[in-house]
Structures are given as structure tokens and as C-alpha cells.
């Protein structure tokens, strides 16, 4: 009798188990059967064979854009030389300095010139360490799972950045030529140094929080912070060398004339050789997921504790291109950042929407527009370069643009050629001097900025 009751109970449970396995939303055997049949009907055996044994990117490469772009530009900023950030995330630093470099080359008739990236990178890392520790002190009474505290410990320091950070560093510390403070191995290969700095700062952040928990005074915590920064300075000095305070320097121009040797400080060198007001530059974003013609500010997105948060005007792409065109026509390079990996033909140096046809290869449509890609984290700014040329047709409309890269002599002679349509889809940030911007757009700078959180994925550092 007991066995019959057990069998009866099991019989009652079986339908419930089957129902649980076929719960709404799960993949059923019928669904799998339909998928299999649809694939069988697609006649995709040749594509399957090719894809299983070859690079998807190579198979998707379009023959119609393979070297078909011409490399001529109607208007180009006069600059010379290509820089190389090597295995580091310092594109923002190279790009910013490469915006200033043509000013020196043209002003002093130089055959080549390069600023020291290591000089500013040293102070960038020291200032970011201080910014992190001050952030820990500011949030010291908040729990570890607080959103801002979690963000701080997730992002204590990095080698990426953006234009506003360069401005703050140059204004405080000046600038020097590359032969005054050259690149070190760690500057060109930042991964291990950055890993050690992150590890140390996270440890230090926890220690400061423990001090507060033990009711130690604010002055004691601040003194401890200074000791911690001394450790960071020590790591940076070992890895990059100590920055110069004064130096003697002279140059030879393109005609072979050698200047008189002179003593400079980094700030006096900037004032004499560059001498422009960096506050005269405005950052624009083209982000169709947010309202245009508004001023935005990113909380805590800066390189110095006593520096400025990153602010930008979100603007329609055609107006952005109008101002960029005016800048190039006046021989002024611009800081430019984009989603460089999308549709990049790195061998030829082309950024074109038709470089790779993944839809035809896979038999699947990829139809998201720029706004949708931003909202779903499918696209965002990943790399900074210097915008130096535009090719205009007879009506003055841009056909393509030229970006001076910092990857050495790869692509098109160290550059990337960008179609105008690619610019529309994957350009995110550009920095332009105020004199090329219309008055109605400049008035947007008078608005109260809309504050955005630092963890917004659109505002990750450019590498």
C-alpha cells in the first residue's frame, strides 16, 4: 500500500516538474528544433566552413573599401612628426600636447619638435593619487557599499584621461621639451606601475577609513595622507625619474640657425614657446542620448583635487563639424576623441562605415543608431587623437578628415583617415578654440551645468 501511495505521489509530481522545466521564457526543445530547422534552411554551410576556420574580421572586410580611399586633403594643419604612446593609456596626454606642438613648430620654424610626456605624466599620477585620497577622506563616514565609495575604490588611479586634465596640469606645472625629460620603460609600459599604485592606494584608503573609525583627528588623517603621497612620489621617481625644476635649452630651426642657450623653468618655457590661454578652448560632445545645447559637468572627473571638473557642451554634429572646419582652415589642430575600434582598418589607416560587412557575413542585421549604441553601452569614447585636416568638395562640404595618431608609424603614415559619415557616428568629444565658435553657442557656457555622476559609462578615461 505504501508503495502504491509513493508511485501515485510521483505521478502527480511529474507534470509539475515538466511544467517547471518549460517555464515561460526558458528555451524549450521545440524552440531548439525550430532554430535548427531555420539554420538548415539558410544554406549557410559555406559561410559556416569559412567562419569556423578564419578570422571573422578578415572575412567581413569589404573589397570595395580596401585601399580605395585617396589620401589627399584640401586643407591641412602644418605640423611635423609622429609620436608613440607605446603600451600605455596616455593618448589624452599625447593628443593634448600634439595640439600645442604645431604652435611651437610654426612659431620657431622647427623641422621637428616634441614635448615631454613623462614630465606631465609624473604630476598627473601624483595629483590623481591625492584626488583619490581626498575622495576617501570626503566619504570617510559613508559605508563601503555606498555608490561613490565603491566607485573610488574601483577607480583609484589610471593612466587615461582627457583634455581638462592636461589643462590643469600645464597651468600648475608648465611644460618641457622631450629631450629635457625623456621617456622611461615604465612610462612606455605603464601596466605594472599602475597596478602597484592601485594596490597601494586601495590599502591606504582602507587605512584612512580605519583611522576615522578609531576616532583619530582630521589633522592626524591629513598628516597620514601626506605620508602616503610620499610613497607614491617614491614609486613615480623610481619609475619615471624626478621632474626637472630648471633646465638650459636651445634649438636649431629648419634653416640651420641655432638659438642662444637659455635657462627656463617649465612654466617660463610654456609662456615663451606656447603662450596661449588654455581657458580659450571649449569641449564639445555629440551625445544624442542627452539634450543638445546644454552644458554638462562630470562630478569628480578631473586630474587635480584643486582642479576643475570636466565640462562640455552637448551639440548637434553638423555644428561641431562647422567649428572644426573653421579651426583647420586657420591652421589650428584640435583634441578629438572617438570610438576608434569601430570599423577600423588599422593596416591602411581607414575609419569608414563600410570597412567591414558583418551583417552579410553572419546573415544577421546590426541596426542600432548612435543613440541606441550609447544607451546600451555598445559605444563610447575610447581613444584621443589630434584632428589636423579636412578634405572639402567644391561646395565646401567635408568628405573626409585626418587624425594624427600616437601609435607610431602605423595606419596611413601614423595617421587615420576618417570618412565624414564615420565622424557622425563615432566622434564623441572635440576641443575647439572660442574664436571659431558662434556667439549663440558660446552663451551656453553661461548656463548652470547639469551634473552627471563619474561612473556614467560615457565618461570613461581615454586610452
| Candidate list 36, 91, 248, 413, residue with the active-site label | 91
In angstroms, how far is the first alpha carbon of the chain from the final one? Answer: 74
Rounded to whole angstroms, the Cα distance separating 386 from 98 reads: 7
338 is catalytic: no
Cα 434–Cα 170–Cα 331 angle in degrees, nearest 5: 40
Q: Is 76 left (phi over 0), alpha (psi -120 to 50) or beta?
A: beta
91 is catalytic: yes
The answer to whether 270 and 175 are in contact (CB under 8 A) is yes
| Candidate list 314, 338, 383, 415, residue with the active-site label | 383
Cα 177–Cα 164–Cα 294 angle in degrees, nearest 5: 150
| Candidate list 303, 314, 405, 415, residue with the active-site label | 405
Rounded to whole angstroms, the Cα distance separating 329 from 433 reads: 13
Contacts of 271 (CB under 8 A, 6+ apart): none
Distances (CA, A) of 167 to 101, 238, 308, 409, 437: 14, 26, 9, 27, 19
Rounded to whole angstroms, the Cα distance separating 294 from 1 reads: 79
Contacts of 300 (CB under 8 A, 6+ apart): 131, 135, 148, 309, 454
43 is catalytic: no
The answer to whether 454 and 442 are in contact (CB under 8 A) is no
> Which residues are catalytically annotated?
91, 383, 405
Amino acid at each position: 500500500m505504501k508503495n502504491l501511495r509513493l508511485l501515485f505521489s510521483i505521478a502527480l509530481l511529474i507534470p509539475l516538474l515538466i511544467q517547471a522545466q518549460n517555464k515561460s521564457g526558458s528555451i524549450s526543445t521545440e524552440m531548439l528544433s525550430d532554430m535548427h530547422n531555420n539554420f538548415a534552411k539558410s544554406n549557410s554551410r559555406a559561410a559556416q566552413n569559412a567562419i569556423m576556420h578564419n578570422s571573422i574580421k578578415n572575412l567581413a572586410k569589404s573589397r570595395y573599401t580596401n585601399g580605395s580611399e585617396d589620401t589627399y586633403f584640401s586643407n591641412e594643419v602644418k605640423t611635423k612628426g609622429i609620436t608613440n604612446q607605446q603600451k600605455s593609456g596616455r593618448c589624452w596626454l599625447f593628443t593634448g600636447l600634439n595640439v600645442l606642438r604645431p604652435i611651437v613648430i610654426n612659431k620657431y620654424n622647427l623641422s621637428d619638435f616634441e614635448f615631454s610626456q613623462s614630465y606631465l605624466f609624473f604630476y598627473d599620477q601624483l595629483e590623481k593619487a591625492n584626488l583619490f585620497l581626498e575622495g576617501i577622506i570626503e566619504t570617510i563616514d559613508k559605508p563601503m557599499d555606498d555608490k561613490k565609495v565603491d566607485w573610488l575604490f574601483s577607480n583609484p588611479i589610471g593612466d587615461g584621461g582627457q583634455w581638462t586634465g592636461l589643462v590643469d596640469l600645464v597651468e600648475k606645472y608648465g611644460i618641457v621639451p622631450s629631450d629635457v625629460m625623456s621617456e622611461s620603460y615604465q612610462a612606455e609600459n605603464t601596466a605594472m606601475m599602475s597596478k602597484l599604485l592601485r594596490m597601494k592606494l586601495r590599502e591606504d584608503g582602507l587605512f584612512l577609513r580605519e583611522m576615522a573609525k578609531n576616532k583619530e583627528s582630521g589633522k592626524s588623517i591629513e598628516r597620514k595622507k601626506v605620508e602616503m603621497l610620499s610613497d607614491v612620489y617614491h614609486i613615480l621617481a623610481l619609475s619615471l625619474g624626478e621632474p626637472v625644476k630648471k633646465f638650459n635649452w636651445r634649438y636649431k630651426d629648419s634653416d640651420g640657425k641655432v638659438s642662444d642657450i637659455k635657462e627656463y623653468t617649465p612654466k617660463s618655457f610654456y609662456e615663451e614657446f606656447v603662450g596661449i590661454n588654455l581657458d580659450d578652448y571649449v569641449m564639445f560632445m555629440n551625445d544624442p542620448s542627452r539634450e543638445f545645447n546644454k552644458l554638462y559637468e562630470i562630478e569628480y572627473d578631473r586630474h587635480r583635487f584643486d582642479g576643475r571638473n570636466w565640462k562640455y557642451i552637448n551639440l548637434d554634429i553638423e555644428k561641431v563639424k562647422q567649428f572644426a572646419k573653421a579651426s583647420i582652415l586657420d591652421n589650428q589642430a584640435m583634441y578629438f576623441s572617438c570610438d576608434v575600434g569601430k570599423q577600423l582598418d588599422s593596416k591602411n589607416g581607414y575609419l569608414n562605415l563600410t570597412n567591414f560587412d558583418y551583417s552579410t557575413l553572419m546573415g544577421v542585421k546590426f541596426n542600432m543608431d548612435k543613440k541606441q549604441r550609447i544607451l546600451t553601452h555598445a559605444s563610447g569614447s575610447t581613444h584621443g587623437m589630434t584632428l589636423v585636416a579636412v578634405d572639402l568638395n567644391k561646395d565646401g562640404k567635408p568628405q573626409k578628415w585626418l587624425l594624427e595618431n600616437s601609435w607610431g608609424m602605423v595606419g596611413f603614415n601614423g595617421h587615420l583617415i576618417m570618412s565624414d559619415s564615420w565622424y557622425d557616428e563615432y566622434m564623441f568629444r572635440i576641443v575647439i578654440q572660442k574664436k571659431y565658435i558662434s556667439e549663440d553657442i558660446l552663451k551656453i557656457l553661461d548656463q548652470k551645468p547639469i551634473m552627471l555622476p563619474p561612473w556614467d559609462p560615457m565618461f570613461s578615461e581615454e586610452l
